[in-house]
Structure 1
Amino acid sequence: MREITICEMPSLYRDDFRVKGFVFGSGKKSVSIVGTFRGNEYQQQFIAARLVKRLKELESAGELNEGFEVLIIPSANAYSMNTRKKFWSTDNTDINRAFPGKAEGSTPEIIADGVFNMTKEYEYGIHLASYYMVGSFLPHVRIMKSHLDYFEESAGFMMPYMMIRDPRSYEKTTLNYTWQEAGVKAFSLYSAQTEGIDRNSAHTIIRSILLFLKNKGIISTEILGGYKECAILEEEKRIIPVRTSYAGFFEPKVKVGFEVEKGDLLAEIHDPYTDEVISELRSPVDGVVFFMHSAPMTYSQTAVFKLII
């Protein structure tokens, strides 16, 4: 294992800010794995750290095959995690909306430039992503449509679900999109949690990445488990949102991964002043709970569930 510094900037009050990377093996630049851009992505940081530990063990045991290089960047924004801010703490900028970055730009653009230039030569890019809404997911892999055709390669992760969708306009400055523009086969992996550590879900993501490395011939160790992937195309409209009619305390009656039938009670909304039940959310379809809101309160007209049919 080699530790490298991808980006370094002086700090007024603390030690200099550095973005560190860990390189395993040598040869073809095969896979880069990028962890956190946001200060609340504790689960993603944990997953990346465990991957560094595991690949270090595999390399020491001679189970990292010759001719392949793997790069892991656990965090590109440790500063915001230290100060308990979601975005870059001095100007509230989302680094994952600053790609491909600028060497002489703002601080988030400089960080994005460093990460992008270090990873764009790898054949595959894996981003440990988080969702913009507060909630829990079934672990899955996502691919944005682009000029590249590599959807079938996501089966190498052996995850339960793979989503394929068109990029939104605001996503054209994300790492995933700019990777693909540079010819990198990009995947975003979503865990069950973001702001807390869920070890079971983390294990699922770590295992899926190791399975991918195994299926690409990069590691030789045996990896147990995995699923036969179910592909979900966005245009097929198989993701059904369930929205609230009222704001209030959110009390779920199911969990992510539950199978539900049409009419099943998903959650209650309670009046925040009287605790009376002011709304019941019932499943509009037979399906599986793919996403669930996890904050204690919700706004009106919020998609607090997403169901797969």
Structure 2
Amino acid sequence: MMRKVNLFTLDTPYREPLTVLGYEFGRQDAEKCVAIVGSMRGNEVEQTYVCADLVRRLAVLEEKGAMDPGKRVLVVPSVNAFSMNISERFWPVDKTDINRMFPGYDLGETTQRIADGLFSAVQGYAYGVQLCSFYLPGDFQPHVRVTDAGPISQESLRMADAFGFPYVVAKKPSSFDTTTLNYNWQVWDTHAFSVFVRDMGSLSTHNATEVEDCILRFLDDRGVVRFTLPGGFRSTHLDESALVDVRSERAGGFFLRDVEPGERVRAGQTLGQVLDAGDAHVKEMLAAPIDGRVFFCHVDPLINQYTIAFKIAAETTWSHAE
């Protein structure tokens, strides 16, 4: 039966110790099959909820005998409850990002030690799923992303279809990607998948359920759970570099958007407007440069000049994995 385990505890200089909890399914001596990690940042509320509700759903499946006890599953809903409790995105003492500290260092700074504690707990699993957020605040078309870390990534891209997300995105790593959990999982031979929910900082149980269903489809494909979940998409594969950015090139101000993620748009169609903060006149109309679907939308009511307001997946880039 499900076990609630203390993965590690870390003393902090200004508050009570940070304790990171996980929920295990399967026998304690079972092979390490899937590790699922939720929020590392304080505003990743939806990511935490997805993992917490997934724990509930897996517990029900386990009680019904619909999980393979010979395959161990670990779910870690939150790694940074400290920041979430005080509404800070990053570690509040020094503003560092835990997901830029892997594989960690047990004698380093606080966030390096947190990364080390987490990586020690999730290392050695065959598959790793991380609930992520983007560096820009906004709404996404839900998708699963694989960062290119070598030959293992190509196999992971083929496996990613099992989630049933609308999109599977391949990402070429930048320099900072080498210090993320996803990349380091792959270096240590774990198939790693970054799952992006629709939004960040808010909570939609409908959106969360869609993402949970996709993760359960993947667990079914890997033989962890024994049931068939209807629905899902035949995933479209695209490279992150193929997404077309639409920026507020001329000015900042109030931001009004006319489209949502997933909407089909035509070249020249109005996507949103930037209004003057003094008299609300229109300073810039943002239009689709190509035919495609909206992949990402800026959501804050204010926008700065040169900020990415939308990302469009071009129709000509759409293809399905063979």
The answer, yes or no, to whether TM exceeds 0.5 is yes
Distance in 1 between residues matched to 2:15 and 2:56, nearest whole Å: 27
Contact kept? 2:10, 2:114, Cα under 8 Å: no
Shift >2 Å, 4+ stretches: 9-16
Q: How does 1:211-222 map to 2 (within 5 A)?
A: 211-222=217-228
Residue 291 of structure 2: which of 286, 294, 303 is its match? 286
Contact kept? 1:49, 1:74, Cα under 8 Å: yes
The aligned counterpart of 1:244 is 248
| Structure 1: gaps spanning 5 or more residues | none
1:19 partnered with 2:20: yes
TM-score (ref. length: structure 2): 0.93
TM-score (ref. length: structure 1): 0.97
The aligned counterpart of 2:172 is 166
Count residues with an aligned counterpart: 307
Contact kept? 1:139, 1:205, Cα under 8 Å: yes
Give 1:200's aligned amino acid.
Answer: H
How far did 1:171 drift?
A: 1.2
C-alpha distance after superposition, 1:52-76 (max 9, x if no partner): 1111111111111131000001111
How far did 1:13 drift?
A: 6.0
The aligned counterpart of 2:129 is 126
The aligned counterpart of 1:255 is 260
How far did 1:14 drift?
A: 4.8
C-alpha distance after superposition, 1:84-132 (max 9, x if no partner): 1111111111000011001111111111001111111100000000001
Question: Which stretch of the first structure deviates more once superposed, 215-224 or 154-163?
Answer: 215-224
Contact kept? 1:101, 1:110, Cα under 8 Å: yes
SS in 2 for 1:33: strand
Question: Which stretch of the first structure deviates more once superposed, 293-302 or 13-22?
Answer: 13-22
Distance in 2 between residues matched to 1:86 and 1:106, nearest whole Å: 18
After superposition, the Cα gap between the structure-2 partners of 1:234 and 1:9, relative to the gap in structure 1 and judged at 3 Å, is closer
SS in 2 for 1:51: helix
Contact kept? 1:242, 1:306, Cα under 8 Å: yes
* C-alpha RMSD over aligned residues: 1.2
Contact kept? 2:253, 2:302, Cα under 8 Å: yes
Distance in 2 between residues matched to 1:12 and 1:170, nearest whole Å: 27
The aligned counterpart of 2:318 is none
Contact kept? 1:192, 1:198, Cα under 8 Å: no
SS in 2 for 1:257: coil
